[in-house]
Structure 1
Amino acid sequence: MKINKWFHIFIVFLLLIYSCSSEKNESELTNDLKISLSKDSTEVILSNIPAYVMDEFMEDSLDYNLWTNFFAVYKDTTDQEMRDFRAALQGTYTIVNGTISFKPTSVWSSNEYYFARCYTKTLLRKPEDIISTRKINSPGGFIEFEFRAKK
């Protein structure tokens, strides 16, 4: 009977050590959002959005102002201090195959530079990811993609 107790204690001890020592790779913990230009350069596409977030978008209809609070495209400026004060471009947001795409109302100008931002990078993290990495905020509250449209 004594050996049986020690055996169970030993197994529990090994399981505790194994569970404490296993670390998850940070790239496995969060889906890295990706912003890119479509193949024909007419739309900006936000991809790698977690399924639970896409489900929320599909259930609710967002007005234009709410979309720009999440994902917006701007004309770039040479004054770096003024970038944060630019007005978002007008356009249409669509959800297709787990991606969000933005198509501007007017055609991209090949003489202009643009940038797109997704502002809720840290909000897309699951609570268990925050606990696992022991980091509440990642650097920067948004991801950014700079581009120049091709003709």
Structure 2
Amino acid sequence: MEKDKNPKSRNRLKTAGIVLACGLAGVIAVVLGFVLADALILYAYENSGGQPMFYVMERTEPGESMIVPLTEKDFEQHPALAAVIRGEERNPSAWEWGYRDQRVVGGTKVSYAESKALHDAYGPQGERGLYPLTEYEGAYYVILTTWP
């Protein structure tokens, strides 16, 4: 009983509570700082005057590349992909874009978020960083994104 009435015991608990509250507030401040920094960086990119581009190149043969078949879900998730491969942004060039077995079939401007999503889904993969080929209706495509 004497410990409960001891003022030093109450001060230790009060000090421990203050330290714990300050530590928790510090962790929350750091997390919010990272979220704010990420938002500010994305805002700066979006308002820098440049905009990411999305290009699709068609290949005649898949070679030894990994092949990812495109589905309706892919076109629903990425409207730019549907516009370039199926629709209004499709404008195939000649078959001589660097190599005689590939050509650009189209491109369009996309948002930074869409560019990142496309890059994550169809960009370089594996240890060697090779682009997978996507396949749609018997044609093979390489999907590229660029940032200004």
Report which of the two has the higher share of helix.
Answer: 2
TM over 0.5: no
TM-score (norm 1): 0.29
Bigger relative CO (Cα 8 Å, ≥ 6 apart):
2
